[in-house]
A and B are shown apart, each in its own frame.
Chain A
Amino acid sequence: MSTAILLGSVWIFILLGLFLALPRLISRQRNASFRLGWLVVILVAMFARLVPNLILPMGSVWEMQMYQSVGDLVLRGEDVYSNPETENYHPYLPFQMYWMAISRWCAEQLQLPFVKIYRLAPILADTAIALLIYLNLRNRSAGFTALLGGLLYAINPVTVYVSAYQGQFDAIPALMILLSLQWLSRSPSKAGGWIGLGILIKNWPVLALPSLLTGIHGVKNKLTLLVTASITILAGVGFYILLFPANPVNILIKSLVYNQSVGVWGFAYLIRLPRLLEPTLSGPHQWLLGNGRYITLLGLALIFWFKARRESPQAGIFTILLAFLAITHAFSIQYLMWVVPFAILELEWRWLNRYTIGAFAYMFLTYTTFILEPRIMHVLPWPQADWWIIIPAGIPVWLVTVGWLIHRLRTTESKRLAGKV
């Protein structure tokens, strides 16, 4: 075990302990005034992430290589989407790649590891999310609840793992969804702009769009949100085409027709399992590879129609993101952070505790032995290590998402809130 991994492991355990003990730790301050609560939240969120960013000279080995290659191409003025070197390295619309290029340039100028600079963007986004959670909760509940909510996000080990260890940037689109929610009732155009930017950065904020649309009144307002979101996305693609010799159809195909990592999580693994034990039993998994996305979309559509559209936009977005984790056919470990900010805003803290424990166990094993340092191959060769150790380690947290979703589908929003605030 390298010193960096050892220190990183100790740090994340400290955060898990603090996260679980936090309500008890600060309950004595229940009646105190929290005038500088926002500053405490910012400082704690930054500190919790900058320490591992300093300690760990590595992020996700594979992803950081991809991002560096994309950054190099952008700096050279070449099209990322058509270059064979980076063909599947950037399955997103063109925006995040500029930060990859800036990080690459800064790393060379400052003689620092690329990953330490690259991770600063999701770390800042996480800090902004913690602050937004604090401000949002302060407007509708006691100062104590707001501080607790902000700090729960600030030290949540799932979000720290994704941003400050792995270097994935899902915190940035999550922030965009929260900003869109923030502006939803006041300015549909600004809400549209933020969600458009979120989709430009990564595709998954599109899951929030239906709840945002049902959350505003009037066809004109809904259209304004849709049009501004579309203009933002088109502006991003147009800007890229102006700068680089790119084909817009190719950009859309590479960004939107992404169907990787099928059968590594949840029910899809259970369907894949017979094939792993006996290669001749490949039929169900083969079918899932071609049709899994339709199952996921159908499931999400049903849950939206029967549940999420009747909830507030914030609650609806959370229900859909949770449903995605419970029923998705395709998965990457960083998806685990999506639900955390919305769970805190929805005051679903008891389920969040169970989820964090399950996710932590899975992430500790996966980050320590595979993502940061691929040592798991010493136990078993690849891909057997993936099939029999890494993927099954995610089953407990997947079961938590299924239980959480069932609980959410059974309870109404007013009942949930009545028991909490």
Chain B
Amino acid sequence: MNSNRRKLGRAVILVLFLCHIALGIYTELGLIEINPLPSWLMKIEEF
């Protein structure tokens, strides 16, 4: 049971880690652009 939980934890960490790295590399290489922007992303914060 503990061993399975540990494996699952490690898998989640690995996936999260790879997502961060992939997003960084893809952005740097100019491979991602969110266009058109969904409206909920464009809410303007007022101070």
Contacts and interface: CB of A to CB of B under 8 A. Distances in A.
A279 B40 CA distance: 11
With most chain B CB atoms within 10 A of its CB, the pick from A9, A354, A362, A380 is: A380
B43 A378 contact: no
B17 A357 contact: yes
A357 B45 CA distance: 32
Contacts of B17: 357, 360-361
A1 B28 contact: yes
5 contacts: A277-B40, A357-B17, A364-B24, A365-B21, A379-B32
A9 B30 CA distance: 16
A384 B24 contact: no
Nearest to A394: B20
A17 B20 CA distance: 17
Interface string A36-70: 00000000000000000000000000000000000
B29 interface: yes
Nearest to A289: B47
A277 B43 contact: yes
A246 interface: no
Interface string B1-34: 0000000000001001100110111011110111
B8 to A, nearest CB: 15
Interface of A: 1, 5, 9, 275-279, 282, 354, 357, 360-362, 364-365, 368-369, 373, 375-376, 378-381, 383-384, 387-389, 393, 396
Nearest to A393: B20
A276 B43 contact: yes
Nearest to A396: B16
Given A364-B20, A383-B45, A369 B27 contact: yes
Given A279-B46, A380-B34, A389-B23, A1 B41 contact: no
Those 7 A-B pairs whose CB atoms lie nearest each other, nearest first? A361-B20, A365-B24, A1-B28, A369-B27, A368-B24, A361-B17, A365-B20
Interface of B: 13, 16-17, 20-21, 23-25, 27-30, 32-34, 37, 40-46
B33 A378 contact: yes
Nearest to A272: B45
A365 B40 contact: no
A279 B41 contact: no
Nearest to B46: A279
Contacts of A279: 43-46
A380 B28 contact: no
Contacts of B25: 1, 9, 368
B27 to A, nearest CB: 4
Contacts of B32: 378-379
Contacts of B44: 279
B23 to A, nearest CB: 6
A354 B17 CA distance: 11
A275 B41 contact: no
Given A375-B28, A378-B33, 8 more contacts: A1-B28, A277-B43, A279-B45, A357-B13, A368-B25, A379-B33, A380-B41, A384-B41
Contact of A275 (B21, B23, B29, B45): B45
Contacts of A375: 27-28, 30
Contact of A380 (B13, B16, B37, B45): B37
A365 B42 CA distance: 22
B16 A361 contact: yes
Contacts of B29: 1
A137 to B, nearest CB: 28
B34 A379 contact: yes
A388 B34 CA distance: 12
Contacts of A360: 17
A379 B28 CA distance: 10
Contacts of B16: 361, 396
A360 B24 CA distance: 12
Nearest to A286: B47
A5 B29 CA distance: 11
Contacts of A378: 27, 30, 32-33
A166 to B, nearest CB: 15
B42 A376 contact: no
Contacts of B41: 380, 384, 388
Contact of A361 (B21, B34, B37): B21
A384 B20 CA distance: 17
